[in-house]
Structure 1
């Protein structure tokens, strides 16, 4: 009878011995060969699209890395809007804090991105000063992180100091945290304004943490909108980052795209269709010339019966006005029993 263990042995397709086992060396060679083919985007390995069509080697595709653990949920034009809004916010907040603290404060935007919550929580330093907040009437809890050294610089200035802090500080006292809350509320009030909500967003502080290790304000796979700034006050320059669950503000972000001007190639053309009702609209027509110049005394001396001599060439430089717009130029003359103007050319707006 055949050995059942023998029948379970893997075989090599097309090999001389169908029951031959792969050695570890052969397995390593196969893995190395497949890895080399996968890495040969610009080399000798074939590249196929999602439909199984092979790319032409003379026109290889542009390959970009994609992090499936940190999906991007915003289109590039929306990210541009958010970066612009946050850049303007940074300038306004820096000016407001400088007046509030009577201290030179600068705020520079570093990035605006979307991250899953677990990645954002891992980026929060330990120790740090973390404030949990809510923007009423939106759902979801936001997170604002500020380095203790920068927070203490704000507190020092509020207490009458020069805005200095201990670079080795890792924690704030209860009194210092209460004072810093006033500055952070100013931050959140200005940040709430960038969303352009018809209903005013009112920030409120919910609690504090000393780092990101135990943050559990959202599910681990929740998409967060994260803005990172570099803040400077006195001699301290540290990172500030603010994050809020993207589902809470998605409708506001999507609404921002409606405020963008349409691209040039998408702007609707003005209709030039003529309507019969236009035919009976009366438009006053007049003619005019640039005749001559008179001094103020000569104008004051004008009396009925006097003759003003005009240059002969103005006859061929007669302007025809339609309403208040100079539309044509031509030459005035006599046609039977009437004065007439022969139109020679259309007047452009630059010639007026």
Structure 2
């Protein structure tokens, strides 16, 4: 019976009470009876609706990041969309996977335990076909991948794992790392079949080909940080800016970036005639006096003053000061 009454049902109820046709004493007795709600011990509810919604929201970030990276790698339009985030038992998840399937077992450091990323084989073969120069339409009968095919698709899996790490960093600084690969779902037993897991399903479209990706994370892995999976915590993290872990990661990545550095000892102006008349041995006077500072450029930007010299058997400069924005504007 529906718990919400229509207006006509309310009017009929009030009319029955006024005429005495409805026994209000019996209504009170029914209301005083304890309300019993069925509980399935085989499928205990571990995740609230708010937590599942938060998990679904944070994977929208994964979709945007992963589809951009994969589009460049596969040279095709790639679209990834979250289909659902639900809680099931691990046994149900394993039984739902076809055999064979591409199953990647991953860690989520610093969280303890393993998770599973599953990509269905038809879209895997389409990806491999594109990676070797094909149109992505080659889909052989389901079979286990060869070592070469595993190596080819390994880069795509790493791209997905980086996307998961980036998305989860807004709530939990989890780093997804591959620790193993299986093709038979029965061999990917990371928790007991009765344990509850959160299952996030994605639809992957590559050109005209469509497939699915599944991320399965056991409740036991997430239990220590379950209080962070709320809409309030998620949106607070988005507005709070990068976490210290994210800042450290960004700084580490930037530390390995190569930047061109050049030193300008001086400058001179020549007309076209003088320039065309230059010959080996000619001297071009610079517009700086001996002992003056040289200018160190970072990329195209003037950054430092420096004194030229030598260090060992190499030419070198010693930084003497920073070029401030005002000075840079005036020059």
Q: TM-score, normalised by structure 1?
A: 0.53
> What runs of 5+ residues in structure 1 fail to find an aligned partner?
1-38, 42-52, 263-352
> What runs of 5+ residues in structure 2 fail to find an aligned partner?
4-28, 237-331
Describe the superposition over 1:71-95 as per-residue Cα deviations: whole angstroms up to 9, x where unpaired.
2212222222111112332232112
Distance 1:171 1:232 in 2: 22
Describe the superposition over 1:257-293 as per-residue Cα deviations: whole angstroms up to 9, x where unpaired.
352579xxxxxxxxxxxxxxxxxxxxxxxxxxxxxxx
Contact kept in structure 1, 2:100 and 2:142, CA below 8 Å: no
Q: How far is 1:194 from its partner?
A: 2.2
RMSD of the TM alignment (CA)? 3.2
Contact kept in structure 2, 1:71 and 1:116, CA below 8 Å: no
Describe the superposition over 1:40-78 as per-residue Cα deviations: whole angstroms up to 9, x where unpaired.
x9xxxxxxxxxxx63499xxx8x9876542222122222
Q: 1:169 to 1:236 in 2, by over 3 A?
A: farther
Contact kept in structure 2, 1:109 and 1:229, CA below 8 Å: yes
Report 1:1-80 matches (<5 A).
Answer: 54-55=30-31, 67-80=40-53
Describe the superposition over 1:200-249 as per-residue Cα deviations: whole angstroms up to 9, x where unpaired.
43322222222323332112222212111111223421221111222222
Report 1:316-331 matches (<5 A).
Answer: none
| Alignment counterpart, residue 94 of structure 1, candidates 45, 67, 72 | 67
Contact kept in structure 1, 2:82 and 2:202, CA below 8 Å: yes
1:228 counterpart SS class:
strand
Whichever structure has more helix as a proportion of its residues is 2
Q: Give the number of the structure whose alpha-carbon radius of gyration is greater.
A: 1
2:139 counterpart SS class:
coil
Describe the superposition over 1:305-327 as per-residue Cα deviations: whole angstroms up to 9, x where unpaired.
xxxxxxxxxxxxxxxxxxxxxxx
Work out whether 1:234 is the aligned partner of 2:207. Answer: yes
The one of the two structures with greater contact order (alpha-carbon pairs below 8 A, sep at least 6) is 2
Distance 1:223 1:171 in 2: 28
| Alignment counterpart, residue 183 of structure 1, candidates 142, 145, 156 | 156
1:141 counterpart SS class:
strand
| Alignment counterpart, residue 152 of structure 1, candidates 125, 129, 144 | 125
Q: TM-score, normalised by structure 2?
A: 0.56
Name 1:217's counterpart in structure 2. Answer: 190
Q: 1:237 to 1:167 in 2, by over 3 A?
A: farther
